[in-house]
Structure 1
Amino acid sequence: MGCGACKASDDVFEVNFYDSYKLGKKLGQGTFGQVRLAKDKFNDAELAVKIVDVRHYDEKTGACTGEISRSRNKATRDEILHWKRICASNCEHVVKLHKAFSDNSLYYMVCERCKRSMLDMTVDGLTEGDLSNMFQQMSKGILHTHSCGIVHRDVKPDNFLWGGPTHSTLKLCDFGLAATMPAVGKLGGIYGTAPYMAPEMLRGVGYDYLVDVWSLGAVAYLLSFGRFPYTPMEQTSASMKDAISKDSPALRIPLERAAEGRCSEQLISFIASSLCRDATKRSSVQQLLQHPFLAIPSRPESPTEEHEPAEPDPDSPRPMHVRSIAQNLMSRPSPTVQNGIDELLQKLFDKHGGEAAGSNMFFSEGDEDKEKEQQDDVSPTMRAADCRIRKKNSRRNVKHATHSGVISPAVMGQLGANTSASSEENEGEPESPPNP
């Protein structure tokens, strides 16, 4: 499976990010990276840039050794190459990567800016029409990725963003764990986020594109019923993987909901088609796009518009509950690593003839976010710049990242108080670095 138009040359890395872009406020941060706004110097287009630090940090002390981590360097280059290959043929349901820069120990991935995460739409609840629209758009992004011969391997709510002119187009992002499907044989290794992992991946029998279909089904289950397909008593990554692998406690799709009129038979059928434990009988993405459930019309307004919520169904998933159990699986960024990145960025500002608050920075208008200033642990120069950064307040007062694994300050606060969830976000073989 593949397409000639999706092939990309290895020569995709440019050198000086600051020749073409100004760096803006921090949108979020992850294990080994952060996401900031970026502005094109030539046309003032507002974009996002994912910055990844590939230096090695000591596991015990957290201190930067100054050496390049070969495994993380390779993983980051592979991510960019996969993303470039996917974007070589246009698809509105994939976040567009514009340019990639390599500057010694930092990589810059300049991409389109998406202002809302997928779970934002759940604030006012979801109708089946909304779910149909979302699953259809998610399926299109996954199908395009598969058409380029690539398995995403980390399909989950965090990796879909609302973008486009009206912020109503759902886009797949974050290809840090993606892999090219071999011409012969199957893929191996455990990658992704535990509750969304497919049984065949965890059993070590080899897998293909259909692991992404299973993950899509797990997302559909979560949004429809307010819990993961497998929810063992102990809410840890290891226990979830064990439950999925052994089917214990057994997967249960609540068929009685359709019989009682609490949801449609089409929704139950769609979820069952994607959560088939036997991969040989599981629907492909192409088949899911033909499923009758995806023909249900959604409400006309975009997810950014205000509307009066319908009378809540006491048995329906609580939106904030769905959001919290999904976000509780996110990892906690290291302040030491973040300080290291900020200090390196500070040196680059000086090197390229700008100051943190000068020619290579720009700021958004709005109310000052003083709480964020108190929470951020950054270098003095970056703090001086960030204290001038403004954000527009939404009715939810929530900031969002542009990639999975990048956590907003508000979410970080919630995670600090939660000790029941696993601290793992993404997993891989020992040589595979965490996804920023």
Structure 2
Amino acid sequence: MLLLKKQTEDISTIYEIREKLGSGAFSEVVLAQERGSAHLVALKCIPKKVLRGKEALVENEIAVLRRVSHPNIVALEDVHESPSHLYLAMELVTGGELFDRIMERGSYTEKDASHLVGQVLGAVSYLHSLGIVHRDLKPENLLYATPFEDSKIMVSDFGLSKIQAGNMLGTACGTPGYVAPELLEQKPYGKAVDVWALGVISYILLCGYPPFYDESDPELFSQILRASYEFDSPFWDDISESAKDFIRHLLERDPQKRFTCQQALQHLWISGDVALDKDILGSVSEQIQRNFARTHWKRAFNATSFLRHIRKLGQSPDGEETPRQGRCQGQVD
């Protein structure tokens, strides 16, 4: 279905604005109810004045979302434009962020992690089949559809997605800690960067801390470039060999040898019955609290360091030879 921008003088004639849900780099998201119905949406409100120079990013996000229809991907329902704003009416998801939900659980097992990763893999595999690379997969972009225990997980935030017209992309964007080695090296890259990010997420889901981390960003980048990580004792002692094998195939240094989404979906840890049933909630939730409470304030600093690293290679984040302010910086949060 083609979603044309619907013109309006005042968005409040279409939606009743209820409350603010959050804000991003250059937009605010509010809970809105469609007038004349009980239908609720998450309305992304983008002031046109902050769009100057970023129009391509937003047009790209709309172009991506228009093509997407999948049960595990947050849908774009409508697009409105007023003299001052652009409004994206997004499917409302109410279940909260991935880590928050894990912390609230009564129990949590490797099998639960396998089920979560399988859902995200299915969604990303679908995107890849359309030639779309998400480019910013991270736990904060994985949301639960509802607050109920059996809720599905949803992939959100396509602010950095690119439709892969040719075989490779050349714009370095993403969140440090989840970026693939080829991205840091400013090499042409493709769908394999999403698989790497899913490897990082899978690792965290099983132990509660990231595979690559250092207070020093140059050292963090060095770890990623070497694909240098461990399955540390005691945190990995009760995790199956199958889970570790799965992660090794996703955190493969060479993108040519790295699993595709389809290969990952066929791995026994996802498709079989080998993921363990042992409760690992205590250890994982303790590590999540310890390692991710700080990430919100560190993220802006990391974004700056990431761009500095890219510029040391003599290129801007958009793959151009001249160093100038990268347009990805505001998108890393």
**TM-score, length-normalised on structure 2?**
0.82
Q: Give per-residue Cα distances to partners, 1:284-324, cap 9 Å, x unaligned.
A: 10111111112449999xxxxxxxx9686558852322442
Shift in Å, 1:270: 1.3
For the structure 1 residues 107 and 275, does the alpha-carbon distance in structure 2 shift closer, same or farther, using more than 3 Å as the test?
same
1:172 maps to 2:151 = no
For 1:297 and 1:46, the matched residues in 2 are separated by: 40
For the structure 1 residues 204 and 330, does the alpha-carbon distance in structure 2 shift closer, same or farther, using more than 3 Å as the test?
closer
Are the equivalent residues in 2 in contact too, given 1:128–1:296 (CA < 8 A)?
Answer: no
State how 1:396-411 maps to structure 2 within 5 Å: none
For 1:226 and 1:146, the matched residues in 2 are separated by: 28
Are the equivalent residues in 1 in contact too, given 2:33–2:40 (CA < 8 A)?
Answer: yes
Are the equivalent residues in 2 in contact too, given 1:151–1:208 (CA < 8 A)?
Answer: yes
For 2:182 and 2:118, the matched residues in 1 are separated by: 24
For 1:165 and 1:223, the matched residues in 2 are separated by: 19
SS of the equivalent of 1:155 reads coil
For the structure 1 residues 226 and 19, does the alpha-carbon distance in structure 2 shift closer, same or farther, using more than 3 Å as the test?
same
What is the aligned partner in structure 1 of residue 42 from structure 2?
48
1:320 maps to 2:314 = no
State how 1:224-373 maps to structure 2 within 5 Å: 224-234=206-216, 236=217, 238-245=218-225, 247=226, 251-254=228-231, 261-294=237-270, 295-296=272-273, 318-331=287-300
For the structure 1 residues 151 and 314, does the alpha-carbon distance in structure 2 shift closer, same or farther, using more than 3 Å as the test?
closer
Are the equivalent residues in 2 in contact too, given 1:257–1:263 (CA < 8 A)?
Answer: no
Q: Give per-residue Cα distances to partners, 1:135-162, cap 9 Å, x unaligned.
A: 0111111112112211000000011110
Tell me which amino acid in the other structure corresponds to 1:142.
V
What is the aligned partner in structure 2 of residue 357 from structure 1?
none
SS of the equivalent of 2:153 reads strand
For 1:149 and 1:93, the matched residues in 2 are separated by: 17
Are the equivalent residues in 2 in contact too, given 1:79–1:177 (CA < 8 A)?
Answer: yes
% identical aligned pairs: 26
What is the aligned partner in structure 2 of residue 415 from structure 1?
none
Bigger relative contact order, structure 1 or 2 (CA pairs below 8 A, ≥6 apart): 1
1:76 maps to 2:53 = no
What is the aligned partner in structure 1 of residue 123 from structure 2?
141
SS of the equivalent of 1:49 reads strand
For the structure 1 residues 107 and 283, does the alpha-carbon distance in structure 2 shift closer, same or farther, using more than 3 Å as the test?
same
- List alignment gaps of at least 5 residues for structure 2: 308-316, 319-325
* Runs of 4+ residues deviating >3 angstroms: 164-167, 255-258, 295-300, 309-317, 325-331, 421-429
What is the aligned partner in structure 2 of residue 434 from structure 1?
330
What is the aligned partner in structure 2 of residue 107 from structure 1?
86
SS of the equivalent of 1:91 reads coil
For 2:306 and 2:21, the matched residues in 1 are separated by: 20
For 2:274 and 2:14, the matched residues in 1 are separated by: 42
What is the aligned partner in structure 2 of residue 25 from structure 1?
19
Q: Which of the numbers 4, 7, 29 marks the counterpart of 1:15?
A: 7
SS of the equivalent of 2:157 reads coil
For 2:63 and 2:24, the matched residues in 1 are separated by: 21
Shift in Å, 1:81: 1.3
For 2:155 and 2:208, the matched residues in 1 are separated by: 22
Tell me which amino acid in the other structure corresponds to 1:224.
L
Q: Give per-residue Cα distances to partners, 1:339-362, cap 9 Å, x unaligned.
A: xxxxxxxxxxxxxxxxxxxxxxxx
For 1:233 and 1:326, the matched residues in 2 are separated by: 11
For 1:37 and 1:207, the matched residues in 2 are separated by: 36
For 1:219 and 1:199, the matched residues in 2 are separated by: 16
**TM-score, length-normalised on structure 1?**
0.64
Shift in Å, 1:121: 2.1
Shift in Å, 1:325: 4.7
Are the equivalent residues in 2 in contact too, given 1:157–1:326 (CA < 8 A)?
Answer: no
For the structure 1 residues 52 and 280, does the alpha-carbon distance in structure 2 shift closer, same or farther, using more than 3 Å as the test?
same
Are the equivalent residues in 1 in contact too, given 2:145–2:153 (CA < 8 A)?
Answer: yes
For 1:315 and 1:82, the matched residues in 2 are separated by: 34
SS of the equivalent of 1:22 reads strand
Q: CA RMSD in A?
A: 3.1
What is the aligned partner in structure 2 of residue 182 from structure 1?
165
